[in-house]
Structure 1
């Protein structure tokens, strides 16, 4: 019986290890450099994001993303089922799912009076906003980081590094995509988005952080 118990324990451990997600530990360690004082290592979050952006992040998001309307409707019925298919959350319990979506729609309003600019996008053709997309330059939240199943808090030294890493995704998107967007005459233009969001309470349109965004012609 002891041998059987040991075998069962080993089998359970093997299954647990097989289920573990890959974390970008190598990239995180490579992003450490000697500080200005010449002593100690300082984490460079931008460098860490650059190391995985094209090779891991964008391919993952494109493969994981579901059509926005499909994800929205499924999440309204069963948030866990939608999350398991189209999202990720780091642990069970009260932590919300972060959903990955792709959408094509039309801009019905642009809110560009602050640095945290957004566009309201109608996806289902009823003329009303179904999602609010961040267009920066100030981008709120860490939805892109939190949507990745290969990123773990345990790969970082502390909460500060983990938070910096989340903000670095927003900085990358702003530099690559958002800062070149026009700020005038956006309403009426078509838009294509790949991004992530956390479900908003009270049925509000979700705040989507884009990883990719392209504008089309106006109506």
Structure 2
């Protein structure tokens, strides 16, 4: 009987690459069958869907949450500034809101006053009974600065946003709502010397002698 031929050492060395090649081909086929190709347009659309819509956020919340809360919590400007001047910390706890222990308090306020002459982006107000040396002005644009509207309600906090940029953008867009819904039809130049009524918010601390109120309601007497 003829003995069965056994693979030589060289044959044994050649077989593993053949097996490994087959496995590699199968793996590549499996990867290709489960890979989804995303074109540039689809990728851009996905990025847009995830991007924070600050304008939409402000539009949704300005009339439904921000304005009603500020109107409900507004304290007369003379009373409020008197309390703040006497004890800023106590007044902040009682009347204000802030997002964190190191943040400045923001307050909702209201009042009547005699409008002065426009100075840049501010309309100075003449108000009897204010603490000595304090000047109150309304922000009338075109630039509306600060975060008073965002912060004075106590409803909008940093932990509701992905990052600081979104948090800041929300504030900017709330201020933009004021420009279109409050200031667009208000003639600040013509209001000089006339009585005005206002409801709004301000942040206290950066300059205690200059209070800049961002209005959510502003009306001049006829």
TM-score (norm 2): 0.73
Aligned to 1:180: 185
Q: 1:191 to 1:183 in 2, by over 3 A?
A: closer
Aligned partner of 1:104 among 103, 112, 118: 112
Which is greater in Rg?
2
Two-structure CA RMSD over aligned residues (Å): 2.3
Aligned to 1:31: none
Q: Is the 8 A contact 1:106 1:121 kept in 2?
A: yes
TM-score (norm 1): 0.74
* TM-fit CA distance, 1:179: 2.0
Q: Is the 8 A contact 2:84 2:92 kept in 1?
A: yes
Aligned to 1:46: 55
Q: 1:47 to 1:183 in 2, by over 3 A?
A: same
* TM-fit CA distance, 1:61: 0.6
* TM-fit CA distance, 1:130: 3.5
Long gaps (5+) in structure 1: 1-34
Aligned to 2:215: 210
Structure 1 or 2: larger strand share? 1
Aligned length: 178
Deviations 1:124-154 (A, max 9, x none): 179x973111001210111110112111111
Q: 1:89 to 1:129 in 2, by over 3 A?
A: closer
